[in-house]
Structure 1
Amino acid sequence: MGIGSGIALFVIGAILAFAVNIDLGGAVDLTTIGYILMGAGVVVFLISLVFTLRRRQTTATTRTAVDPASGEQVTRQTRDSNDPLV
């Protein structure tokens, strides 16, 4: 499930909670089901957002040292990323 699934659950829950006025005999309350779907949609959206933001973290490290043999300054750059396209 992704961000779109969370939004879809929230919208379906809002429709059931606020727009549908059908009496199903008291055994099923569509308003309560709508609120439950809205809550699940928010949870799925937030979890998906956290995983998306964690995946895009990048760490860049630059090290500068002097080579003892030649006396030259050597700079090494390292980029570590969870996303292979970065």
Structure 2
Amino acid sequence: MSIGGGIALIVIGAILAFALDFQVAGIDIQLIGYILIAAGVVVTILGIALAFRKRSVVSTSRTGIDPASGEQVTRRSTRDDGGPVV
């Protein structure tokens, strides 16, 4: 789920907690609404945190001449988020 899913959970929870006024035997509709609101807030905060996390990509390019053949050789490596060099 993302930010939109979290907002949907908040809206559905608010409807259950504040707008509906009926009883179901053995089920507290208001409590379910509050639980959905809390879950929606958590999902929304996680979605925002993941959307704005800093990503870094480091690219390195090295060029040299192969002493055996005399050809120009280029080596490229990319590292994403501190991962291993590819």
Q: TM-score, normalised by structure 1?
A: 0.63
1: distance between equivalents of 2:16 and 2:3? 20
Cα offset for 1:81?
Answer: 7.7
Partner in structure 1 of residue 42 of structure 2: 43
1: distance between equivalents of 2:15 and 2:80? 41
**Is there any run of 5+ residues in structure 2 with no aligned partner, and where?**
58-78, 82-86
Q: TM-score, normalised by structure 2?
A: 0.63
Cα offset for 1:33?
Answer: 0.2
Is 1:20 matched up with 2:33? Answer: no
1: distance between equivalents of 2:11 and 2:55? 30
- Secondary structure of 2:52's match? helix
Q: Would you identify which runs of 4 or more consecutive aligned residues in structure 1 move more than 2 Å?
A: 56-59
Task: Tell me how many residue pairs correspond in the alignment.
Answer: 61
- Secondary structure of 2:14's match? helix
Amino acid at match of 2:52: L
Cα offset for 1:58?
Answer: 5.5
